[in-house]
Structure 1
């Protein structure tokens, strides 16, 4: 079943204060919005991601979305969350999916495992939300602030996002609510409940906090400091053979010869793939894509690097930096450097500013000096949550 995601990012975050809406404020080196977009765009079960933004935030959004895959052009939200979600749903009207997730940009710490749980439950039940038992005693108070009742907390749950629904049912519920003037429905589960649908729950995550107050950003910074930073290296070499171009970093570079290999022999992407897998302690490119398997004959190597990047995302991590060095006498890499950086960024789902591509020679020594082939060295730095140990 095709699943898409909507990221609600049109709010102003006035309770946080500061010059920027809270979804654009940095948490370490990334904004809350980019973390949320990356979580969903990198998830293998999600086909595309639709952001809903404020009219005034187009430039801010473009900077935060740069280099991420699966993102549709943003749509402009409404004055309230309910209207903004409806705008996101309407953007899929021409090609409606079966399942839709709705996620708040201000919840940047949800895990891929939580996303998978919500998708599975939405497919099974038609509507599903992550929820946590309430540990505090809850009081109902009257207009004067006096306690009116103490509900049984065993039946209470704190609700999170992403929330998952059958697309057609949620869109119809939002349309009916808008037409009826129903307001104050603070999440999409409430809209579905208003329309008469049952909503299932799945286990939420304590770490899936919502950024609402200034102190939440301080807590988030402390949580981010516990990231497990890892580095991996990769090396690959391919000999020249017949052909009229070489594939390097996902770019076809015209040349008097080609590179021999079972796939497209992209020595740069092969080295980067091994570097990412090495940082994950997850084998190497040959273990996942053995050259003895005929399905990989002639395969484009962008599939290998995208696979490795998805493995990082599945662990709740992110790629922080990729560094590639190409070793050859020819062809000249300099004229193609920016195109290679942009292509690697697009494949790995990271900003181009985090991609380094260099080239060198061996001063005519060795097999590369004799123009017998091309070698590549790569280093990948990734961040994994501490729980991934």
Structure 2
């Protein structure tokens, strides 16, 4: 039996989508949302058991979900247990059920309403649980976030670079998570909105690993419509598209440059409207090129003052979002930096990790190289630096 089990929280009412049926039991592409979520987790070879937690009156809905499951996936399911009044109560019920059947070493806690979870994200979750014992998937925040008071006045604008939008599956060593849930219940604490927050309260150090922008949560009716289109199109042929991008910036006074979302000390800066990150600019154009969706200047014109000094990860994240909206998959990102200085060797892995986090892909799918121009041209004369990029992705055939 695998060391890893999964708890799928499906006890919510899901009333915001309308229609009378909870969202996890609504059909997308011919199958219930919960069926697709259970199937994705059960299909992963690293997960040995899947424990569903359902509402007390949802047995008939759940039986319909099981009828549409592949027998191999259904074989990994534990008998469903009833959830409680809060998400926290429901997770604890699932953990308790797993312990009664034999506690696993690791556990993933996943929302039923996230049916787009894929094998790569589950791989990262399991690896993070092993490495950190408490970890949550996160994607960079592209919008500016404001903290406000009771009168809707802004109290603080936290830096976007330090913010992550957290998803599921969240990944933990089993015993500490169950202990944290029991302690919180004993103290009457029930306001934690996710298991990462509860783990923080319990004193666990919680890490963040790269999430996936495609791992969307179904909340509104429009989300159901989008999921229905995506899963209906999942049977379509995916065609490979290749896009390329290029960017250049001249040097100016300064003490650093941004490359691939990493601040690198340098004896000069670059002249730019945004942060001048040639790597992320080239990557953004490469993805937009593969989508045949214009270029970075079309979507983020330098004439618009809101982009002055902007962090370029916002541009890349927007391009990644456009791929996800069209049902696409990013397979590989490849970058070459052309510069006499600064040298990127010491920063290569940090750059790869940052790009992977923004794009929601494994670090193994990101390549970055550097070269000089043998003293030729503006790069050779150390007047500036440049980057060229290639993006390989797949799109549903009808989206071509």
The verdict on a shared fold, with TM-score over 0.5 as the criterion, is: yes
- Verify: 1:100 aligned to 2:107, yes or no: yes
Per-residue deviation, 1:181: 1.5
Pick from 91, 99, 106 the counterpart of residue 97 of structure 2. 91
Residue 52 of structure 2 aligns to a residue whose secondary structure is: strand
The answer to whether 1:131 aligns with 2:132 is no
Q: Is the 8 A contact 1:163 1:189 kept in 2?
A: yes
CA gap of 1:387–1:85, structure 2 versus 1, over 3 A, is farther
Q: Distance in 2 between matches of 1:30 and 1:224?
A: 9
- 1:388: Cα distance to partner? 9.7
Question: Distance in 2 between the 1:108 and 1:69 partners?
Answer: 19
Out of 205, 208, 232, the position equivalent to 2:212 is: 205
Contact 1:89 1:171 in 2 (8 A): yes
Q: Which residue of 1 aligns with 2:59?
A: 58
Contact 1:211 1:217 in 2 (8 A): yes
Q: Which residue of 2 aligns with 1:371?
A: none
Structure 2 residue aligned with 1:79: 85
CA pair 137-227 structure 1, distance change in 2 beyond 3 A = same
| RMSD after superposition | 1.9
**How far did residue 228 of structure 1 move?**
4.2
Q: 1:217 and 1:92 mapped to 2: Cα distance?
A: 30
- Pick the aligned partner of 1:122 from 123, 126, 129: 129
- Provide the rounded CA distance (Å) in 1 between the counterparts of 2:396 and 2:83: 36
Q: Counterpart in 2 of 1:70?
A: 76
Distance in 2, Cα, partners of 1:224 & 1:205: 17
Mapped contact 2:141–2:163 kept (Cα < 8 A)? yes
**When the two structures are superposed, what TM-score results if normalisation uses the length of structure 2?**
0.57
For residue 149 of structure 2, the aligned residue among 138, 142, 155 is 142
Distance 1:388 1:188, change over 3 A: farther
The CA deviation at 1:225 is 4.2
Q: Matched residues in 2 for 1:145 and 1:16: separation?
A: 27
> Could you tell me which residue of structure 1 aligns to residue 317 of structure 2?
none
The answer to whether 1:111 aligns with 2:118 is yes
- Mapped pair 1:154 → 2:155: no
Determine if contact 2:34/2:115 at 8 Å carries over to the other structure. yes
Provide the residue aligned with 1:311 in structure 2: none
- Superposition map of 1:1-389 within 5 A: 2-66=3-67, 67=71, 68-94=74-100, 95-229=102-236
Moved over 6 A (4+): none
Aligned partners of 2:47 and 2:183: how far apart in 1?
27
Deviation at 1:387, TM superposition (A): 5.9
3-state SS of paired residue (1:93)? helix
Per-residue CA distance 1:160-202 (angstroms, 9 max, x = gap): 0011100000000000011112221001111100000011111
Q: 3-state SS of the aligned residue for 1:91?
A: helix
Aligned 8 A contact 1:193 1:199 in 2: yes
Contact kept, 8 Å, 1:227 with 1:386, in 2: the verdict is: no
3-state secondary structure, aligned to 2:139: strand
* Secondary structure in structure 1 of the residue aligned to 2:17: coil
Structure 2: distance between partners of 1:57 and 1:158: 30
Contact persistence 1:131–1:203 (CA under 8 A): yes
Asked which structure has the greater CA Rg, the reply is 1
When normalised by structure 1's length, the TM-score is 0.58
CA offset at residue 76 of structure 1? 0.2
Structure 2: how far apart are the matches of 1:207 and 1:182? 32
Equivalent in the alignment of 2:358: none
Contact 2:3 2:104 in 1 (8 A): yes
Gaps of 5+ in 1: 231-315, 317-384
Contact 1:226 1:386 in 2 (8 A): no
Gap change, CA 1:169 and 1:193, over 3 Å in 2: same
- What is the deviation of 1:138? 0.6
Gaps of 5+ in 2: 238-328, 330-392
Q: 2:136 touches 2:208 (CA, 8 Å); kept in 1?
A: yes
3-state SS of 1:55 partner: coil
